[in-house]
Structure 1
Amino acid sequence: MDRQQLKLELLQSLQKMYDMELVAPLLEFCQGEMRVLLYLDAHPAGAREIYPSDLSDALYVTRQRITTILASLRKKGYIITETSKSDRRKTRVRLSKAGSHYVQEKRALADSYFDLLIQTLGEKDAAELNRLVKRAAEELEGLAE
């Protein structure tokens, strides 16, 4: 297979996965509100204060986009924003109980999807898929900078 054909087939395979109804809920984990919630869940409020600028830097999202996401999450009751105890000019962000519960529900959904994927592919092929995706991520990391 020539390089152009390989590129075309990779694109088509990724597009097919992207368009599948089963995969759509997993895409949430990689972008937008869910990605912010996962970050907050991984960095509990007691460990250190999280500010919108921290989210922007860590998730490679513009400050404006973070502000929009946080406003939406606050409206849904998934996060709490409050004045920082260490610097009254800053607003800290933390996950609410409702936000934590929402993240747990979404993780359970993803867990059931991965159970189905492993069952469908078999453990050996699922492990190989994981190895290849991990390798691709490691090899491509930093190239876009």
Structure 2
Amino acid sequence: MMSTKFTVRKATPVMFVDAVEPAVAFWQGLGFEKTVEVPHGDAIGFAILIQGGVELMFQSRGSIGLDVPALAAEPSRVALYVEVSDLDEATGRVQGAPIVFERRRTFYGAEELGVRDPAGNVVTLAQVPAEQGNG
């Protein structure tokens, strides 16, 4: 029998990247603050970025190769759905990022734009109507 006291407290994506620095710069452009930085040689090996209740973690392939070697060679891509308060402002903050899909209105009423972060991950920026949004 499973305990009724069990809860998942948080789920945080840890994204493996060739270099942490470009990922940090990309997400700082969207208002995230770097709260943890762990060096790996003369570069950043691991970083945590936070904005409000949202947390993202990035680890360099070199660092993960020392930490968990079996994971270092695996391809690592994620798709993040990021709800924002103002899609126009968010679009300006990621100017120059490769476009995955142009701005569109979805069947569920969100305005979305898809871009790639410096590590190649798909980031969907979405402005959801207030009555549907989470924040």
Per the shorter chain, which TM-score range? Answer: under 0.3
Structure ranking higher in helix proportion:
1
Structure ranking higher in strand proportion:
2
Highest Rg: 1 or 2?
A: 1
TM-score (norm 1): 0.25
TM-score (norm 2): 0.27
Say which structure, 1 or 2, has more relative contact order (CA 8 Å, 6+ apart).
Answer: 2
